Amino acid sequence: MKIKRIEHVGVIVKDVDKSRRLWEDCFGIKLDSVEENPQRPVKLALYPVGESMVELIAGTTPDSKHARMIAEGKGGLNHICFEVENIDEALAELKSKGVPLLDQTPRIGHAGCRIAFIDPSATENCLIELAELPPGGAHA
């Protein structure tokens, strides 16, 4: 498996729009994009930092996974995402090594990336996402 870089670090926040003040006004990081997925109750704000991104994640309904995490005091740093060259090969390699996966096959994530998560039981309780960017890259 070839890991190319840290693609992004995911941070769970209560409200993306309110959290933007910290990232834009305090840190001076320019917003790349905001995404909402009609199939999932989630809103994302993506901030480029060097070759990587910070991804703010907020639930858009009170019963959404991310809103429940905030209510349970589990907001903040959530996961690290590695960009891989070929996600199908990466998952096959991890499976052959006996690494448990949360996603057995890739699914579509932010900006059209193909993504999959590794089971945190295999990574010292660190949630790790793998992402293969679409042709031409995922971000402007």
Percent helix, percent strand, percent coil in the chain, to nearest 5: 25, 35, 40
Which residue segments constitute the domains of the chain, with CATH numbers given? 3-132 (3.10.180.10)
Tell me the per-residue pLDDT of 24-43, one tens digit each, with 9 for 90 and over.
999 999 999 999 977 889 99
Give the Å distances, CA to CA, from 45 to 21, 31, 84, 120: 12, 7, 22, 24
Sheet holding 107-108, edge to edge: 33-36, 42-49, 52-59, 3-12, 76-84, 128-132, 114-118, 107-108
**Which tokens belong to 138?**
């995922």
CA distance 77 to 89: 28
pLDDT, residue 140, reads 45
CA distance 92 to 76: 31
pTM as predicted:
0.91
Tell me the per-residue pLDDT of 51-64, one tens digit each, with 9 for 90 and over.
999 999 999 999 99
Q: How confident is the model at residue 139 (pLDDT cuts 50, 70, 90)?
A: low
pLDDT, residue 37, reads 79
By the 8 A CB rule, do 58 and 104 touch?
A: no
Strands 52-59 and 3-12: parallel
CA distance 57 to 25: 18
Query: What average pLDDT does range 96-114 have in this prediction?
Result: 95
